[in-house]
Amino acid sequence: MKLNIFPTPDEVLSALAEYFIQVANDAIAARGRFSVALSGGSSPKKLYELLASTSHADRVDWTKVYFFFGDERNVPQDHADSNYLMAKKALFAPLMIQGENIFAVDTSLTPNEAAQKYAEQIAEFFNDEEMSFDLVLLGLGDDTHTASLFPHTAALNDVTPSVKANYLPEKDIYRITFNAPLINEAKNIAFLVYGEGKAPAVYNALEAEEDVELYPAQLIDSIVGEVQWFLDEAAAANLEEEY
């Protein structure tokens, strides 16, 4: 695990954009393509806008980039809460990413059907071999959830890499999400977390006593690669250990 801590959110975003470009170009050089699972929520939109900006856009061969979603809300793809819609506006449309490079969750299906279909699409993408994404981007919720692995939900108990329809009893909704074993197969995992409101969750994820039911982000621990945290000083303010 590596922590990258910067004074401001803009510096965090800039560093993560550089990291994304590096990992993408390394993957394309090594394997001819780059597979990335995007995160949703409030934090990553600015990252996607930065990657699509004129200063960054021509530094990656986007025709060789394949986009997936680490989690998705159970809403139509044109709904304001859709992670796909956010990425489409901030990243896919400005970069003119072709449809064949985008693997969105089919939320017109039932949650279980959507999760199963997405798992099958991922397995097919990886030719039924190890489902190891080049990069999984993650956020961190105030309750220490990541992707849509929320506290005390069924998907936390999974031991086999897959995509799950995770029921959130408190909200009475489903989210479609990579489970932790699938995330942990990735070659690179990067958390993007900024703002003082996230400081307790960052502490819980990294330094609190282990309790994965309460702090699901503690489940994230790459098997084959590295977990990088991109934080601003406000989000890292409660950390006590030396890194």
Ligand X SMILES: O=C1O[C@H](COP(=O)(O)O)[C@@H](O)[C@H](O)[C@H]1O
In the complex, the residues that contact ligand X under the rule CB under 6 A are 39-43, 70-71, 138-141, 146-148
Q: Least distance in Å: CB of 23 to ligand X?
A: 17
Strand residues in the chain grouped as ranges (E): 2-6, 34-38, 65-69, 71-73, 135-138, 163-168, 173-178, 188-193, 226-232
Q: Least distance in Å: CB of 25 to ligand X?
A: 24
- Cα–Cα distance between 202 and 32 in angstroms, integer? 35
Helix%, strand%, coil% for the chain, nearest 5: 35, 20, 40
Farthest CA pair distance, the chain? 47
Q: Looking at beta carbons only, is 74 or 132 nearer to ligand X?
A: 74
Q: Least distance in Å: CB of 116 to ligand X?
A: 20
Q: Least distance in Å: CB of 71 to ligand X?
A: 5
Q: Looking at beta carbons only, is 138 or 180 nearer to ligand X?
A: 138
Q: Looking at beta carbons only, is 61 or 220 nearer to ligand X?
A: 220
Q: Looking at beta carbons only, is 148 or 153 nearer to ligand X?
A: 148
Residue of closest CB approach to ligand X:
41
Q: Tokens 């990992």 appear where?
A: 23
Q: Least distance in Å: CB of 147 to ligand X?
A: 5
Residue 116: count other Cβ atoms within 10 Å of its Cβ: 16
Q: Looking at beta carbons only, is 34 or 150 nearer to ligand X?
A: 150
